Amino acid sequence: MNSSKTVLIAPLNWGLGHASRCVPIIRWLVLQKHNVIIAADGNALSFLKCEFPDEKCIRLADNQLKYFEKFPAWLSILLQLPMFFIFALKEQKRIRKIVEKNQIDVVISDNRYGIRTKKTTNVLISHQLNLNAGILSFIPNTIIKHLISYFNFCLVPDYQTYEDSLAGKLSHPKTIQKTNIEYIEPLSRYEKLNFPESELIPVLISGPEPLKSKLIKQLLSKLKNTSFSYVLFCGNAENYSTENYHNCILKNHDTTQNISTILSQAPLVIASGGYSTIMDMHCLDKDCILIPFRGQTEQEYLAKFHNASAKFSFIPMKDIANKNFSLQEVIEAKLRDKEKSAHIMQSRIPKFQEIISQILEQ
């Protein structure tokens, strides 16, 4: 690097996945002596403040988009499109002031389409190049294609080829213009550590309310009727409290180091089906049972897409609510069939470092 840059990083506050996958990027930028400013809201901001207490954090307004439990996630957003565009315009006005005050050179937005200005190099992080919205897919996908064109670069946290991809058709559309798109390979904040395997099964639940709390409540009623021991992370970065519930330790949140240790020792993992979780499990080489949120067509697609692999299987959320459903049997089957051969991750410079270095040098 010829000189340090001031970089603004702004992830979407929709679960912890968007903020979580920004962690390795922020770590690397700080290590390279760039000035990093974090801009977020809600749970995402609380999480990144804990991860990076020495970096400047700016609170953004909550985008106030609501998740309607009776509708698919894409339809919830589609119904609120006018509000989305109004908010994006307000967010652009706010970001222009932040950029001017802090002399920001590069803006990196994770799925916040209003976080960009004409005076900065604008980078979007997203694997959602192609939304799965059934016969109405052309509506959100036309909008996404248009919004991506406003950014200088769109960085996709997935592998270059569809055959190797973790997001499948979500990150590899057939029709989108790819002139400003770079595939930077999967991102994860976790480090694979060498520990003996324990019997404690971690459960990772992150996502929008009210579905998150509903799934946690349903899961707890199932977990207590099994013979295994669990630690359930509820994804509430504003609260580090811990309590015991039958055979389960409930943790609202914990440090990345502590979670890395628990995941590295785990015989398998149970998790909600967000894409960032899938990247984490892939990078940690962990067998995982996914529970996609009902109505979130992206998570349901990803769960089915990975169900054929040796590492992943999935349970529909409606099965968790079924009193006759046996979680014990599913876990036992997964442990019996668990892939024994380790996936050897290549030891090399992560792709995102190479791409972002090139962007910062421009």
- Classify domain 200-336 by CATH number: 3.40.50.2000
How do residues 18-48 score in pLDDT, each as one tens digit? 999 999 999 999 999 999 999 999 999 999 9
What is the structure's pLDDT at 297? 82
Residue 162 vs residue 3, higher pLDDT: 162
What is the structure's pLDDT at 67? 63
Whole-model pTM?
A: 0.91
Residue range 218-225: average pLDDT?
Answer: 92
What is the structure's pLDDT at 173? 86
Q: Looking at the predicted structure, is the pLDDT value of residue 333 above 60?
A: yes
Q: Looking at the predicted structure, is the pLDDT value of residue 223 above 60?
A: yes
Residue range 314-332: average pLDDT?
Answer: 92
Q: Looking at the predicted structure, is the pLDDT value of residue 199 above 70?
A: yes
How far is the CA of 299 from the CAs of 38, 72, 338, in angstroms?
27, 11, 22
Q: Looking at the predicted structure, is the pLDDT value of residue 343 above 60?
A: no
> Using CA atoms, how far apart are residues 252 and 232, in angstroms rounded to an integer?
8
Domain ranges in the chain are 6-187+348-360, 200-336
Does the bond joining 210 to the residue before it have cis omega, within 30 degrees of 0? Answer: yes
Q: Which range is least confidently modeled, 28-37, 54-63, 203-212, 280-289? A: 203-212
Q: Looking at the predicted structure, is the pLDDT value of residue 64 above 80?
A: no
What is the structure's pLDDT at 358? 93
Give the SS3 label for residue 258.
Answer: helix
How do residues 251-261 score in pLDDT, each as one tens digit? 998 999 999 99
What is the structure's pLDDT at 347? 52
Q: Going along the chain, which residue ranges are E strands?
A: 6-11, 35-40, 56-59, 106-110, 121-125, 153-156, 181-183, 200-204, 229-233, 242-245, 248-251, 269-272, 288-291, 312-314
- Classify domain 6-187+348-360 by CATH number: 3.40.50.2000
What share of the chain has pLDDT > 90, as a percent? 64
What is the structure's pLDDT at 77? 66
Q: Is 66 within 8 Å of 76 (Cβ atoms)?
A: yes
Q: Going along 141-255, which residue ranges are E strands?
A: 153-156, 181-183, 200-204, 229-233, 242-245, 248-251
Using 50, 70 and 90 to split pLDDT, how confident is the model at 207?
Answer: confident
What is the structure's pLDDT at 341? 44
Instruction: Check residue 44 and report its DSSP letter.
Output: H
Residue range 122-127: average pLDDT?
Answer: 97
Tokens 């991809």 belong to: 165
